Structure 1
Amino acid sequence: MSNLASEIELECQCTEECGAVELLLQPKDRDLGGFSVRRLLPTARRKMVGPWIFFDHMGPAHFAAGTGINVRPHPHIGIATVTYLFEGEILHRDSLGSLQAIRPGDINLMVAGRGIVHSERERPAITQTDHVLHGLQLWLALPEAQEEIEPAFYHYPEDEVPATEVDGIPVRVMMGSAYGQTSPVKVFADTLYVEAWLQPGQRLTLPNAPERAVYVAKGALKAMDTDIPEHAMAVLSDQHGVVVEAVRETRLAIIGGEPFDKRYIEWNFVSSRKERIEQAKQDWKDGRFEKVPGDDKEFIPLPE
């Protein structure tokens, strides 16, 4: 999903009233042909949180039989994509020959590096009935020394992602280390990605990280005196021991990690060098990227 959705940023000055919240991002929904996408990163005021440079919340999208998600082959460079579903299924294909159904709880990690092409569609068994698609799509910028590594694909089924309870709150550590758990999902820098499900009134102390943010996928939170409504992302200060409290039943995602130097982003391309993005654009126009086996008849043209 590469079309940028517009967003609204509400800045919260770091005062005693605000405490831990430096910036509150509240996106507008955008309909992308039957399903909505909420974009939290990048924004005009906040390009990245740690290595995370892109954060989309898609759906929940309800598809009638005979319809569904149908993203034609398109390229990436300089990033690793992370796909995580709450509901539904996506069929991933890429130019390495990978063919993988992504289901709720799984983590799909596609390393673009010097360049990869992939498509996101659905199996006929899914599209022939009414169905729902709901999840998160995120991009990790690669460290400058690894931006041109060989592309790779990793799939981690649900039972390989560590889960625990923190004061009665179910927590999954998707990437990095937190709450005494370390995820097996490959990382390229200090990276944090955690999911938690809180009942009303439950309180969770967030893990520390050089940069971090909390996203409310469902429900509502309070962080000290700051309200974090549904579908908002709170970018946090470096204050230790930040506690959030669920106002109602809440599903949240915590992202963060080490800060990166500036990255340029255009369409699906990310790099520390503008000229590398220009090269990738020309390579895509000239057909120099690898094709996707089994899905090589269509492609998304470079936006002009």
Structure 2
Amino acid sequence: MELTGQIVKALSGFYYVEESETHHVYQTRGRGQFRNTDTTPLVGDWVNFTTTNPDEGILTAINPRKNDMIRPPVANVDLAFLVASVAEPKISPKLIDRYLVYLESLGIQPILYLSKVDLLSAQEREELVDLISLYQQIGYTVFLNTELTGKAEQLATLIQNKTVVAVGQSGVGKSTLLNELLPERVIETAEVSQSLGRGKHTTRHTELHDVFGGKVADTPGFSNIAIDYIPKEDLDSYFPEMLALKGQCKFRQCTHQHEPQCVVKAAVETGHISQQRYDSYVQMYHEIADAKPHYKRKKC
């Protein structure tokens, strides 16, 4: 019998598929055709499978994907919580911008979640207001870990009927966020290494959990994210404040750096686009432009 469902966990060569109608989870393996075509099933994939008994099956086909993330390895993602720690380890705004560009390029709605706010002094919290305001003015939703309690209704509205991931560096608080969303499930967390200034990988596989009528993935953390698969001419499309001005510069292929009558540079001068965000754009533009074609990586 052939059934359809979504892969909710991948572990040790097995793919755990939740059948669409009954929501029963089958342990499946992929057919050899996936190896022959160099296709890897991902958590979040909608798949066809045949059952060999009431609990096991064989994957037969992967349905077309909306998108796919290699790091973290999840497909068909609608929304992502970008978990950014403001202390131990403190994430830089440029790294936040890098993650946002990555998510925007995949058509994934980002939600900025600032963790470890409770570790800040009163003065440091005041300084954080400007960072929060910057991203809210661009149009991003921002949550603080200290304010998550009582936001169930807002979270439910965001997550319902969506596949959601939590992304960010190791040790920034992704598992802690998931514990807040799923209080009955305790996800392992770890202290940040004092010598290296970064966290340990507490999540070793990717799995979808039922949260507020949607599916949320706890995923392994990673410290580096490649963006050189993005054509440099398209980079400004993944900065919402620049996208709003698309096509208004004097030159059609304006890089927003040296050209005259550039509306983006004018917006930076007037403060309508922040200098920090513009600097992030320039840095990423040159990284993409300088990448050697045969070394360019796929989206990671």
Q: TM-score, normalised by structure 2?
A: 0.32
Higher gyration radius (CA) = 2
Larger helix percent: 2
Q: TM-score, normalised by structure 1?
A: 0.31
Greater relative contact order: 1 or 2 (C-alpha under 8 angstroms, separation 6 or more)? Answer: 1
